[in-house]
Chains A and B, each alone.
Chain A
Amino acid sequence: MKKMNTVIIVILLGVMTMGSSLPDGTALLLKVDQNMSSTNRVFESTMTINGKRNSRTIGSKTMSEGTKKSFTEYLSPASEKGTKMLKLKGQLWIYSPSTDRIIQISGNMLRQSVMGSDLSYEDMMDDRKLTDIYNAKVIGEEKIGDRNNYIVELTAKVEDVAYYKQKVWVDEERFVPLKEELYAKSGQLLKRVELRDVQKIQGRWFPTSIVYKDMLKDGNGTEFKMINIKFNQTIPDYIFTKAALKQ
């Protein structure tokens, strides 16, 4: 009988140990946030939109501070050069040099595609830390390429999120997401994101190439490449003002 009890205890302990091999979701998400979020960042990027009929690449320079301030200037092609976008606390303004107008984007327009890409204005605006807006639960493990990943299920804990649910594949060593699936509340898959070319920049792991695919749209997705990214830079305050849009 004693032997039997010992066997049961060993089995139970084994099962419990197996369960605890998956880390706590929130703790994992904190590590992801430490890599992906920063006090501020400055980067140049290219966005290649692989449309149904053709592909085109848009170059831009972005400066952002925390999760609430961001300024982007489009550098190429010629038709987009000089267009600027300013995000301040959930509001978005666009300046167009051809009309010399500053236009505010709000409401349903925020769900529209940016420059015909697979990203919406809402996607570009929402830079909040994942831990601030999602509850996390690690549900399994899966390999992507030669990297082991935890599969984390995120469920929104605030109302104003673009995607109610996310499934994120997080690199087990670097704590960087390598794949994301973004879902509506109805459970419909809206977007699939692949994060590649993870590099160590200023002590943190960071993906420098992100491929977005809007699942409700034809086309072959949008590739967003960060050419030169620097964290914790000095950004003058006036950059995050509407006056800077016209300069």
Chain B
Amino acid sequence: MIKFLFKGILHDKSRSLLPIIVVSIGVLLTVILYCWLKGIMGESIVMNANFSTGHVKVMTRAYAKDAEQMPNDLAILKVTKQLNELMSSYPEMDWVKRIRFGGLIDFPDAKGETRAQGPVVGWAIDLLSPQSKEGVRFNLEKSLVAGKLPTKPGEAIISDLFAVKFHVKPGDKFTLFGTTMNGGMAFKNLTIAGTIRFGSVALDRGAIITDISDTQAALEMDDAAGEILGFLNTNQYDDEQAVLVKNSFNKKYSNVKDDYAPVMITLREQSGMAEYIDYVNAVGSMMIVIFVLAMSIVLWNAGLLGGLRRYNEFGVRLALGEDKNHIYRTIIYEGLFIGAIGSVVGTVLGLGASYYLQTVGFNIGGVMKNSSMLMPSVARAVITPTAYYIGFIPGLFSMVLGNALSGIGIYKRNTATLFKELEA
């Protein structure tokens, strides 16, 4: 029967061409939108993980309460010991200590007095250890606009927009002015090793990256760090795995009453990430549901038209003694085949378009000018394994549903009047 139906679809183009085109377009749109959403969401999550949240983050309980304020006076003390414990307990993950800080960059004139200054957000990371993966996480090499990456203590990278604004270049000296862990005034003379463009408006407005040893010295944070970030070895955020690590770590300290005891939180639990992930997932699901409904209505219509066109054919088949259920089943199977063909065509076209968007992307820097969220300024699609089958769900479902709805008409045919109808 399958061969028979297949031949029917191929030979009777008026039965299959329009539904295949409609399904293909629908699937094409589904695949593109899915890849686009995944791309923006994925890049944003990766960027947030690398720059800010890690896949999990360890802080003191007191620091965690105001983590957005970067309260380094509440930082983790004896951080090396804590880091070693994490490395031995969870060796499959990469653990790094970091300090985030706010401050003022002050550029001197010839007399050593303030010529220009501006506020910055700083990241103190391990830039100098040969085994450090932090440079890769921050995509430093590729983001470098001028100069070089720091190779020795006392060198720092600043955002290129900042350098342009204050007319400074690699090799120029400046003073970082901030607050020490103890609340005192922190001063540190540094040299610009290079300037960088991260591709995120929030970062490019004014950022500084220093080696953690320099910042520890400047902020009087000897063997202390604000945060320890953990990264899963897959480099992709896996909420289930992150929650397992978090629960196991926090269990060890569940009986400790100290406000400065360490606490671990997952990426999802940080800086509005849960809402963001849920929002994107909800939008994705909603898009597919709306698409399925809209397509079903269109295909139902197409099915009805086909049903009308094939009114006589069904009449003859019924007159020849074919069971109504059998005819209905064949219509469903036809829908399945047409849906499959349309889904394959739509998926291939959708993946092609998504690949283009993945490679070229759209520049959204203009609309993100005042944004504080870590979003890439060029939005790109990304093709994930799901993209290969996501289009089949609405493609098959809508076609089958459309045919199922329109096929109900068969049951309303009266066998007794069939010949009269055929004679007419």
Measured CB to CB, the residues of A under 8 A from B are 49, 51-54, 56, 58, 79-80, 83, 93-94, 96, 98-104, 108-109, 112-113, 115-117, 242
Bound together, the chains give a CA A240 to CA B327 distance in angstroms of: 101
Q: Does the CB pair B183–A99 fall under 8 Å?
A: no
Residue of A nearest to B189 (CB): A99
Determine the chain A residues whose CB is within 8 A of the CB of B180 once the complex forms.
Answer: 79, 116
Bound together, the chains give a CA A113 to CA B177 distance in angstroms of: 13
Q: Does the CB pair A115–B183 fall under 8 Å?
A: yes
Give the interface centre of A56, A100, A101, A115 by most chain B CB atoms within 10 Å.
A101
User: Does residue B62 face the partner (Cβ distance < 8 Å to A)?
Assistant: yes
Contacting B184 at CB < 8 Å: which of A52, A100, A112, A116?
A116
Determine the chain B residues whose CB is within 8 A of the CB of A113 once the complex forms.
Answer: 179, 183
Bound together, the chains give a CA A51 to CA B72 distance in angstroms of: 12
In the complex, 15 of the A-B residue pairs with CB atoms within 8 angstroms, ordered by the A residue number, are A53-B73, A80-B185, A98-B187, A101-B106, A101-B108, A101-B112, A101-B189, A103-B114, A103-B177, A104-B114, A113-B179, A113-B183, A115-B183, A116-B73, A116-B184
Measured CB to CB, the residues of B under 8 A from A are 62, 73-74, 104, 106, 108, 112-114, 117, 119, 175, 177, 179-180, 182-185, 187-189, 220, 260
Q: Does the CB pair B113–A79 fall under 8 Å?
A: no
Which 9 A/B pairs are nearest by Cβ-Cβ distance? A116-B183, A96-B187, A104-B114, A99-B187, A99-B189, A102-B113, A101-B175, A103-B106, A99-B175
Contacts known (A100-B112, A101-B108); A54 close to B182, Cβ less than 8 A: yes
Residue of B nearest to A56 (CB): B182
Bound together, the chains give a CA A83 to CA B117 distance in angstroms of: 20
Determine the chain A residues whose CB is within 8 A of the CB of B185 once the complex forms.
Answer: 80, 83, 94, 96, 115
Contacts known (A53-B74, A99-B189, A109-B104); A104 close to B182, Cβ less than 8 A: no
Q: Does the CB pair B117–A104 fall under 8 Å?
A: yes
Q: Does the CB pair A103–B184 fall under 8 Å?
A: no
Give the interface centre of B62, B180, B184 by most chain A CB atoms within 10 Å.
B184
Give the interface centre of B104, B108, B185 by most chain A CB atoms within 10 Å.
B185
Closest CB of chain A to B69's CB: distance in Å? 11
Determine the chain A residues whose CB is within 8 A of the CB of B74 once the complex forms.
Answer: 52-53
Bound together, the chains give a CA A113 to CA B112 distance in angstroms of: 24
Determine the chain B residues whose CB is within 8 A of the CB of A115 once the complex forms.
Answer: 183-185
Determine the chain A residues whose CB is within 8 A of the CB of B108 once the complex forms.
Answer: 101
Q: Does the CB pair B62–A79 fall under 8 Å?
A: no
Determine the chain A residues whose CB is within 8 A of the CB of B220 once the complex forms.
Answer: 79
Q: Does the CB pair A51–B175 fall under 8 Å?
A: no
Determine the chain A residues whose CB is within 8 A of the CB of B184 once the complex forms.
Answer: 58, 79-80, 115-116
Closest CB of chain B to A50's CB: distance in Å? 11
Determine the chain A residues whose CB is within 8 A of the CB of B117 once the complex forms.
Answer: 103-104
Q: Does the CB pair B62–A102 fall under 8 Å?
A: no
Q: Does the CB pair B73–A51 fall under 8 Å?
A: yes
Closest CB of chain A to B35's CB: distance in Å? 43
Closest CB of chain A to B280's CB: distance in Å? 35
Residue of A nearest to B102 (CB): A112
Bound together, the chains give a CA A180 to CA B104 distance in angstroms of: 32
Closest CB of chain B to A99's CB: distance in Å? 4
Bound together, the chains give a CA A185 to CA B8 distance in angstroms of: 81
Determine the chain B residues whose CB is within 8 A of the CB of A242 once the complex forms.
Answer: 113
Q: Does the CB pair A52–B73 fall under 8 Å?
A: yes
A-B contacts besides A103-B117, A242-B113, 15 pairs, CB < 8 Å = A56-B182, A80-B184, A80-B185, A96-B175, A100-B112, A101-B108, A101-B113, A103-B106, A103-B114, A103-B175, A103-B177, A104-B113, A112-B179, A115-B185, A116-B73
Q: Does the CB pair A102–B112 fall under 8 Å?
A: yes
Closest CB of chain A to B319's CB: distance in Å? 85
Closest CB of chain B to A215's CB: distance in Å? 16
Residue of B nearest to A101 (CB): B175
Residue of B nearest to A79 (CB): B184
Contacting A116 at CB < 8 Å: which of B112, B182, B187, B188?
B182
Residue of B nearest to A49 (CB): B183
Contacting B187 at CB < 8 Å: which of A58, A101, A109, A117?
A101
Bound together, the chains give a CA A104 to CA B104 distance in angstroms of: 11
Closest CB of chain B to A34's CB: distance in Å? 34
Q: Does the CB pair B187–A56 fall under 8 Å?
A: no
Bound together, the chains give a CA A100 to CA B188 distance in angstroms of: 10
Q: Does the CB pair B106–A117 fall under 8 Å?
A: no
Closest CB of chain A to B387's CB: distance in Å? 47
Closest CB of chain A to B324's CB: distance in Å? 76
Bound together, the chains give a CA A113 to CA B179 distance in angstroms of: 9
Determine the chain A residues whose CB is within 8 A of the CB of B188 once the complex forms.
Answer: 98-99
Determine the chain B residues whose CB is within 8 A of the CB of A80 once the complex forms.
Answer: 184-185
Residue of A nearest to B108 (CB): A101
Determine the chain B residues whose CB is within 8 A of the CB of A103 once the complex forms.
Answer: 104, 106, 114, 117, 175, 177, 187
Bound together, the chains give a CA A102 to CA B108 distance in angstroms of: 9
Determine the chain B residues whose CB is within 8 A of the CB of A104 once the complex forms.
Answer: 113-114, 117
Determine the chain B residues whose CB is within 8 A of the CB of A96 once the complex forms.
Answer: 175, 185, 187
Residue of A nearest to B188 (CB): A99
Determine the chain A residues whose CB is within 8 A of the CB of B183 once the complex forms.
Answer: 49, 51, 56, 113, 115-117
Closest CB of chain B to A161's CB: distance in Å? 24
Closest CB of chain B to A122's CB: distance in Å? 16
Bound together, the chains give a CA A56 to CA B182 distance in angstroms of: 8
Bound together, the chains give a CA A117 to CA B117 distance in angstroms of: 24
Closest CB of chain A to B122's CB: distance in Å? 15
Bound together, the chains give a CA A101 to CA B260 distance in angstroms of: 35
Closest CB of chain B to A48's CB: distance in Å? 12
